Amino acid sequence: MVNIIVIGAGVVGLSSAVSIQRALPGVKVKVVADKIYDETTSIGAGGIFLPTTTNIPGVSEDTLRRWSETSWHVYSKMATSDLASSTGHTVSHGYLLHKTRMKGKPLYADIVYSYREMSPGELIKLGVYDNFRFGYEITTVITNMRKYLKWLMNQFTANGGEVERRKIGSLMELYGQCNVVVNCSGLGSRQLCGDKLLYPLRGHLIKVKAPWVKDWVYTDQQAHLFLSDDFVVLGGIKEKDNWSLNPDPAVRQGILDRNFRYWPALTGAEYLEDWVGLRPMREPVRLETEVIRSPQRTLKIVHNYGHGSNGVALSWGTAVEAAKLVKELISKTSSSKL
């Protein structure tokens, strides 16, 4: 029997594992990870679908569009189907507010449900014109990561998938245990592959309760608010090369000040908790095969990591392609045996 090991139980690893099961029925897939569910970065992601070429540098626009459209096809279907309450996908309306005009339309503009530039009059009516001269009204999908990771894990185990909690010290450790390794270890690849192109882009989120806020707001001034089922998530910083997972009080205050100033309707929100996460950033995302050969040993690998700020948005698209690469590696092995 063909055996596949997927390293990583974040959104990229679980999506890849489920995609492989769907593309290659009958293969045995195991997920190996040292952190699962609420220990991963994926659990804290805002989960908004707004993929851009700026956030994912080094990937061609055509490739990014293909990954984004594949994900969108699935997420938008889920958000409007009877599965929405269990997969965690929600149709969500909001505003992107900028001090300076965006250069051209972002990649997602013609993918999401709706996107349009607002007039100065509309920004005045919304009460944001003093701070933001440009605004875009967007309807997209937000993914509740607590629900989605659970749903992916349920799909995986229901299809016969196995999960092992273990830290992998070196990829060669898996030699002889499977036909192909699929490496979805996010920032872990810095150590696993010695990948110096990979670095953390630190984020800090503050969860508050403000059930009267019904629209998400994203700005170009390190302030944003996203909606989840039970809370509103305030962000947004992106600190390069900062590995600390401890909330920084000064950063925290800055996030609160900016969000409450730009969106005064938050006044009265009840504080719930802070969360710090490290986006696995790489230019470009690594989605490719590698064959490590030594005189006696050959290990076939599909790498799928480094999705930075858009890992939720791109996870399904890259997972489908990772599954195709696994299929190619396996069929090359069987034809070379003939």
What is the torsion angle, in degrees rounded to the nearest 10, for the CA atoms of residue 138, residue 144, residue 150 and residue 151? -30
Task: Identify the CA nearest to 263 among candidates 234, 230, 229.
Answer: 234
Could you count the other beta carbons within 10 Å of the beta carbon of residue 173?
Answer: 15
Q: Does 68 bind ligand FAD (CB under 6 A)?
A: no
Q: Which stretch binds ligand FAD (CB under 6 A): 32-40, 89-97, 256-264, 328-336?
A: 32-40
Q: Does 277 bind ligand FAD (CB under 6 A)?
A: yes
Considering only 4, 17, 33, 322, the residue that binds ligand FAD (CB under 6 A) is: 33
Instruction: Find all residues with CB under 8 Å of 117, minimum gap 6, and list them.
Output: 134, 135, 136
Phi/psi at 235 (nearest 5 deg)?
-140, -165
Q: Tokens for 310, please give them.
A: 């858009």
Q: Does 45 bind ligand FAD (CB under 6 A)?
A: yes
Residue whose CB is less far from ligand FAD, 128 or 153: 153
Residue whose CB is less far from ligand FAD, 147 or 307: 307
Considering only 88, 106, 188, 317, the residue that binds ligand FAD (CB under 6 A) is: 188
What is the torsion angle, in degrees rounded to the nearest 10, for the CA atoms of residue 321, residue 327, residue 333 and residue 336? -100
| Minimum gap (Å) between residue 335 Cβ and ligand FAD | 31
Amino acid at 106: P
| Minimum gap (Å) between residue 260 Cβ and ligand FAD | 19
Residue whose CB is less far from ligand FAD, 108 or 263: 108
* Cβ pair 115, 81 in contact under 8 A: no
Considering only 5, 6, 11, 29, the residue that binds ligand FAD (CB under 6 A) is: 11
Site string for ligand FAD, 148-187 (x = CB under 6 A): -------------------xx---------------xxx-
In the beta sheet, which residues pair with residue 103? none
Residue whose CB is less far from ligand FAD, 8 or 135: 8
Q: Which of residues 108-137 bind ligand FAD (CB under 6 A)?
A: none
Q: Which of residues 209-248 bind ligand FAD (CB under 6 A)?
A: 235
* Cβ pair 68, 60 in contact under 8 A: no
Q: Does 317 bind ligand FAD (CB under 6 A)?
A: no
What is the torsion angle, in degrees rounded to the nearest 10, for the CA atoms of residue 158, residue 161, residue 162 and residue 166? -120
Residue whose CB is less far from ligand FAD, 123 or 149: 149
Task: Identify the CA nearest to 312 among candidates 13, 7, 2.
Answer: 13
Residue whose CB is less far from ligand FAD, 41 or 76: 41
| Minimum gap (Å) between residue 337 Cβ and ligand FAD | 30
Considering only 78, 152, 192, 223, the residue that binds ligand FAD (CB under 6 A) is: 192
Residue whose CB is less far from ligand FAD, 32 or 225: 32
Considering only 6, 8, 70, 218, the residue that binds ligand FAD (CB under 6 A) is: 8
163 vs 153: CA distance, rounded Å: 9
Q: Count H helices and E strands in the chain, helices first.
A: 8, 14
b/e code 39-75 from CB counts within 10 Å (16+ = b): ebbbbbbbbbbbbbeebbeebeeebbbbbbebbbebb
| Minimum gap (Å) between residue 304 Cβ and ligand FAD | 8
Which residues are at the interface with ligand FAD (CB under 6 A)?
A: 7-13, 32-35, 40-42, 44-48, 167-168, 184-186, 188, 192, 203, 205, 235, 277, 279-280, 305, 307-313
